[in-house]
Amino acid sequence: MIDFQTHPDLYRHWRLRFEGRVAFLDMDVDPGAALNGDYELKRNSYDLGVDIELADAVARLRFEHPEVGAVVIGSLKERVFCAGANIGMLAGAPHPLKVNFCKFTNETRNAIEDATANSGQRYLAAINGTAAGGGYELALATDHIMLIDDGSASVSLPEVPLLGVLPGTGGLTRLVDKRFVRRDRADVFCTIEEGVKGKRALDWRLVDELISRSGFAQDVASRAAEVAAGSDRPDDVPGVSLTPLQRTITGDRLDYSAVHVTIDRSRQVAEIVVRGPAEEVPADPGAAVDEGSDWWGLRAARELDDAILHLRVNELEIGAWTIRTEGSIEAVLVHDRFLHENLDHWFVREVALLWRRVLKRLDMTSRSLMALIEPGSCFAGVLAELALVADRGYMFEGVRPGSDQMAELALTVSSDGLMQMSNGLSRVATRFWGDDEGRIAAEATIGSRLDAAGAMAAGLVTDVFDDIDWDDELRIIIEERVSFSPDGLTGMEANLRFPGPETLETKIFGRLTAWQNWVFQRPNASGETGALRRYGTGLRPEFDKRRV
């Protein structure tokens, strides 16, 4: 089992230190600590285990260190920043692991950009030597790239000429869409194995600043301190410790405090249940900080995120996920209102941004998602977004025998932009792309509690069933779904989930990830005579030259 939970005390590959308002996050990969143990992580090359630690560090810096306004990603290896994804790992890993590896590393780099854009915690890269492939892509995720000017340090994206694959974590897109590198220069750059150095790298916008070797450490620290001084994060309040998740894995169950997962292997279905808050809302943001990781708003988001990652990587044959909620709609609405009324507080803002990233991770997950809105559920506020994330949403109409409780759906301002998708739109706007009348009508329900008829009329659910039909209809729908080709479903869902404008994120996850997924399977990359297999052997790869 691959576990995404870790702690700085357990890091094997990263070192964290602090100087005032600046954090230094230095890569120091242990060659002998590969995730699977059958390859060496030389020259700060990385695998999924290295990136799990990086993702943990990025999250902890946001929550545990409100005083940090700038983060410098550097290296403790002499003349090596990062050699990128480990080639031995890529050559030997099964295809699903390669794809999940690329997806997770993309999400981690997006989290770095999100911290810079929305948390007042700006990231810089200090390249002290070679930054190749995924190493340069890591630098590209930062807001400011500093390259040591010593005549040998270089940046490169050598995947096409060297390995027969593509840069897997957004490098191509970030060159032209983020750094505005001229496309002909980008074309040249991506076909040079040895990369680009010094002034040429600066002139081509591949880096932002050249720093001499003699003053490298001091100048990097000065630049970071200057950046940190412009942050709006408080420098005189305690952070919130991200305590270990209370999680139990037994057979076909995965249990947390607010999230519960049950796997039906015979049906290839996982049921995810998110429980709404049972406790009172914090009196004020300070009380929320005091509750820390125990506050439902943070706890439920972290648990759901961990459950998504576990199912993604460790349960490959479970192709359909049903999403349910349990609890009081009123309690969820009170917590949701607290969230929105206190977004100017650093901690509350971070919790809201975490929910947005967790929901995006669901958007990007290659599983069929179905929301089931029943009596006793609490699809309200931020949890209502779970219904909108789903490929289909089904709602119970009427009441069950012996009960007067009806299913309800309650959108709030959480569905009006704060929880925007990777395409830059709310899920309501995405749902009604090209249908302004439908969008306006759906947005008009924000602040209301809708029964099945109201939700159906507003276009917010796919269908409604009463007590007689509920179980049978859902059984047939889910059985049909899992009978289809998983590959066909993955492609279909990814195409349908993101109508509307393209953004940096949608290009990376949609266009680039789709191509990389295909390229990884081709014999030119992964075959016995392919580039990945023959890398480091002294033998040249043999390519099928047909352009298909």
Please compute the mean of the pLDDT values over residues 45-70 and round it to a whole number: 98
Tokens at residue 505, please? 């994120």
Could you give the residue range(s) of every CATH 3.90.226.10 domain in the chain?
A: 8-228, 248-494
pLDDT at 212 over 80: yes
pLDDT reported for residue 515: 85
Rounded Cα–Cα distance for residues 453 and 459 (Å):
10
Q: Is the pLDDT of residue 101 over 80?
A: yes
What local confidence, expressed as pLDDT, does residue 516 receive? 86
Radius of gyration of the chain (CA): 24
The rounded distance, in Å, linking the Cα atoms of 126 and 393 is: 46
| Signed CA dihedral, 127, 24, 205, 514: sign only | positive
Give the homologous superfamily in CATH for domain 248-494. 2-enoyl-CoA Hydratase; Chain A, domain 1 (3.90.226.10)
- Angle at Cα 20 formed by Cα 16 and Cα 21, nearest 5°? 85
Model pTM above 0.85: yes
pLDDT value at 423 more than 90: yes
The residue with tokens 């990136």 is 51
Do 102 and 366 meet the contact criterion of CB atoms below 8 Å apart?
Answer: no
434: three-class secondary structure by DSSP? coil
Residue 161 CA, chain-centre distance (Å), reads: 29
Q: Which helix (H) or strand (E) holds 416?
A: none
Grade residue 358 by pLDDT with cuts at 50, 70 and 90. very high
- Among candidate residues 5, 121, 32, 135, the one with its CA nearest the CA of residue 81: 135
- The reported pLDDT for the residue numbered 372 is 98
In terms of Cα–Cα distance, which of 269, 259, 369, 254 is closest to 1? 254
Beta bridge partners of 126: 146
Q: Which residues touch 323 (CB under 8 Å, ≥6 apart)? A: 272, 274, 369, 370, 371, 372, 386, 387, 389, 390
Q: Give the residue carrying structure tokens 């409780």.
A: 405
- Give the model's pLDDT for residue 123: 98
Q: How high does pLDDT run on average in the chain? A: 96
pLDDT of residue 513: 83
Q: Is the dihedral of CA 149, 152, 153, 155 positive or negative?
A: positive
Q: For the domain made up of 8-228, give the CATH fold.
A: 2-enoyl-CoA Hydratase; Chain A, domain 1 (3.90.226)
**CA separation for the pair 125, 147 (Å, rounded):** 8
- Alpha carbon distance 344, 352 (integer Å): 11
**pLDDT at residue number 514:** 82
Mean pLDDT on 45-71: 98
Identify the CA nearest to 310 among candidates 33, 7, 100, 34.
Answer: 100
Whether the pLDDT of residue 5 is over 80: the answer is yes
For 166-198, the pLDDT digits (tens) are: 998 999 999 999 999 999 999 999 999 999 999
Exposed, middle or buried by CB within 10 Å (0-12, 13-18, 19+), for 342?
middle
Give the β-pairing of 14-19 and 22-27: antiparallel
Q: How far is residue 94's CA from residue 116's CA, in Å, rounded to a whole number?
A: 34
Please, how many CA atoms are within 13 Å of residue 181, restricted to the half-sphere of its CB?
A: 25
C-alpha–C-alpha distance, residues 416 and 340, integer Å = 11
Residues 76-84, mean pLDDT to the nearest whole number = 97
> And the tokens for 491?
């492609």
DSSP 64-108: H-TT--EEEEEESSTTEEE-EE-HHHHHHS-HHHHHHHHHHHHHH
Identify the pLDDT of residue 36: 85
**% of the chain beyond a pLDDT of 70:** 100
Residue 257: pLDDT band with limits 50, 70, 90: very high
Token reading at 330: 């009123």
What pLDDT does residue 305 have?
98
Q: Which residues of 39-60 are buried (b: 16+ CB within 10 A; e: fewer)?
A: bbbebbbbbbbbbbbbbbbbbb
Asked whether residue 37 carries a pLDDT value surpassing 90, the answer given is: no
> What per-residue confidence (pLDDT) applies to 417?
87
Residue 512's pLDDT band, with cuts at 50, 70 and 90, is confident
End-to-end CA distance of the chain: 37
The DSSP bridge pattern shows strands 144-149 and 84-85 to be: unpaired
> Tell me: the pLDDT tens digits for 114-126?
999 999 999 999 9
Cα 35–chain centre separation: 20
